Amino acid sequence: MEQPKISLDLILANIASEAEKAQETVTKASEVLLGPLESNLAMTPYDVVYEEDRVKLKHYRTPGEITMKTPLLVTYALINRETMLDLQPDRSVVQTFLNSGVDLYMIDWGYPTRKDRFLTIDDHVNGYMDNIVEFIREETGAPKINLMGICMGGTFCVIYSALHPEKIKNLITTVTPTNFDTDKGLLHIWMRAIDTDKMINAFGNLPGDVMNIGFLLLNPARLMIDKYVGFFENMGSKSFVENFVRMEKWIFDSPDVPGETFRQFASDFYKKNLLIQNKLEIGGRHVDLKNITMPLLNFYGMYDHLVPPEACGMLTKCVGSTDTEDITLDTGHIGIYVSSKCQREFAPKIVRWLRERDGEAKFPAAYTVDTAATAQPVMDALAVAAGKADEKDKAGPRPRAKRVARASGRKQSAAKRQTVKPSLTQIIQDTI
């Protein structure tokens, strides 16, 4: 049977049409790439209220009333930056929390230097984290706080909650590795085979650039080819280009990891899998997961190539809490925080879950203030809660007074912390 032939006119018409489309794409791309781009990230206002060495504590400014009784502390991983949770206003976990009335704090681990090489997991968990938790409890008057951890930061939160259960009311873990005895992720195979001693002896701290190369090699076709092909196909869309640039800025903003912390994490977790077996010791103390008796919400991604479901799903079965919940989302390691679908499921679910266990806003009688400037917002909030505030005061929140506690030393007690009160000049500048 003779095969039908394609008309030469049809072929030429198709070539002309494709050439015209290509010309339009190039023109639009030129306008986008040569024009102004909004690529800033982490633009939600906050105050740095506590500093210790390289570590800072962010306290975000709630746009309305705080309706969640217990403050929430978010602990990010030492790898990459916490700005992932606030990439842009319409895809911001931070904004969702604030708009829901959460009193939100977040740890900024900063950028380690050579002097941080010998810091261990104990220094981060029982040092920095414990000092920050004590600071928040002292500032807010809350006997316990809500704690949320992300990736390696979630592992730190699990350890902290097991060692200090009396300070944590609710625990939330997201893409948090706790079971390292799996071959589902290439990262787990590599980490068990890697000679961490040679790496740390050579570099001191593990360089962020070395980690970035490793992460790219975990999925080279997707992360080094397909991603940029997608960019060229969509570079005529300004919103796509802006989001792409934001993500690239975040990916390659990679602090080093303190050498001894990395060495210990690779040995005790990836190679020995001590945490999930209840054999881990931190700072000479046994980390018993049965001590985690507070409510636990555990998120992970079905298609996460860094922390696969097999690395996350065992936690709720090993803790002592009877109030646990696992939630699996159809996404990867980063999509759980930035994809539009997960934005509708992830943060709102956390807010609902916390509210069911937390109650409404309550300002403790022991709440202390240092100046009339800081006392007024508290009095206004109490008046609103009692239904006595006038319409003018309800119109919007007053600016929060900036108070920064600076600490030196790894485990400084709360009694020794110094609160830096703003000078008259600073008060005037902040007001302006």
- Chain-centroid distance, C-alpha 57: 13
- Cα gap 304→302, rounded to integer Å: 6
Identify the CA nearest to 89 among candidates 16, 131, 38, 24.
38
- Chain-centroid distance, C-alpha 175: 11
Helix ranges (DSSP H) in 35-151 = 93-99, 121-122, 130-140
CB 78 within 8 A of CB 151: no
The one catalytic residue in 151, 157, 312, 342 is 151
Q: Take residue 90 and report the two structure tokens written for it.
A: 């319409």
Q: Take residue 427 and report the two structure tokens written for it.
A: 């008060």
Helix ranges (DSSP H) in 146-274 = 152-163, 186-193, 196-203, 208-218, 220, 227-234, 238-251, 259-265
- Cα gap 52→418, rounded to integer Å: 12
The phi, psi pair for 125, rounded to 5°, reads -85, -55
- Cα gap 128→147, rounded to integer Å: 14
CB 250 within 8 A of CB 83: yes
CB 402 within 8 A of CB 422: yes
Annotation marks residue 312 as catalytic: no
CB 305 within 8 A of CB 218: yes
Determine the 3-state secondary structure of 110 from DSSP: coil
- Cα gap 13→8, rounded to integer Å: 9
CB 149 within 8 A of CB 155: yes
Identify the CA nearest to 298 among candidates 182, 104, 167, 154.
154
Provide the β-strand partners of residue 419.
405
CB 60 within 8 A of CB 106: yes
The phi, psi pair for 91, rounded to 5°, reads -135, 65
Indicate which residues carry an active-site annotation: 151
